[in-house]
Amino acid sequence: MFDLDGRVAFVTGASSGLGVTFAEGLAAAGADVVLAARRVDRLEEVAERIRATGRRALPVACDVTDPAQVEAAVEAAMAEFGRIDVLVANAGAVPDGFSMPERIPHELFEQSIRVNLIGTWTTVQSVGRRMLAQGGGSIVVVSSYTGVAGVPHFPPAYQASKAALFNITQQLAASWGDRGVRVNALAPGWFPSEMTEAVLSAPVFRDRIDSQAPLGRAGRPEELLGALLLLASDASSYMTGSTITVDGGTSASVGAAPYGEELFGLHDAVMPHGLGSRVMPA
């Protein structure tokens, strides 16, 4: 049921972090993979590893904030393989970083929305049109557990964009199910990646993450593959509009641990130009 042999998967954000794990996991399950990201040199490295396993891999340059680049990447995939059976819309960014909400410049808020929300939408719509025309496909939207509820002192644009992806997943599932296209979401918790390295390497923040998860730790990237392959394959043939949260149980609990001065100091250390400092009463 989890076999993807003979299918074509398209993965955005495939040059680093979880995108690499997703691409290699799909290939290991039998899929040929289209690797899309801005850094083509890194895509080539991933492609070579996938080809060494006997699967085909196509690296394509793609900045998801540019609709023309998204469309060109999807066209290149169709020209090479003739179809796209699985989309993993994984590309994301946290430009607002560890800024305090009251200090985030408008341009950083907007940039986060452009990448995480509009970029994901553009990708899903472009691939979705091809899937509808071919009579089916499985779309996996990568959201985040932080979209479930407010996380204190966390990037608000990132949270808002990830929350919106839950709704887009449901809306498209309801709209496209009659033509065989399933749309589900994967909501990871904390996993090591290029994007999370700066904060997970700080002991004060790592201790907070570990203490909030009932399983007592951050995740390992390969622990996302079970949920991903479920959603990508026929094993989830009667699932659409669903979200699978893989966060060690963090979102299952109510409330958040208090924020100490050492944690606020980390915000100051990570963010430039005072963006990580709180505005305090005079």
Please give the C-alpha separations between residue 36 and each of 80, 263, 276, in angstroms, as whole numbers: 14, 35, 32
Q: CB-based contacts of 8: which residues, under 8 Å, 6+ apart?
A: 31, 32, 33, 34, 77, 81, 83, 84, 85, 86
Angle at 76 (CA atoms; ends 137, 78), nearest 5 degrees = 35
pLDDT digits (tens, 9 = 90+) for 133-155: 999 999 999 999 999 988 888 88
The SS3 call for residue 46 is helix
pLDDT digits (tens, 9 = 90+) for 216-264: 999 999 999 999 999 999 999 999 999 999 999 999 987 777 888 999 9
Task: Tell me the catalytic residues.
Answer: 158
Fold classification of 8-270 is Rossmann fold (3.40.50)
Cα–Cα distance measured from residue 125 to residue 105, given in angstroms and rounded to the nearest whole number: 29
Q: β-strand 32-37 against 57-61: which pairing, if any?
A: parallel
Judge whether residue 211 has pLDDT over 80. Answer: yes
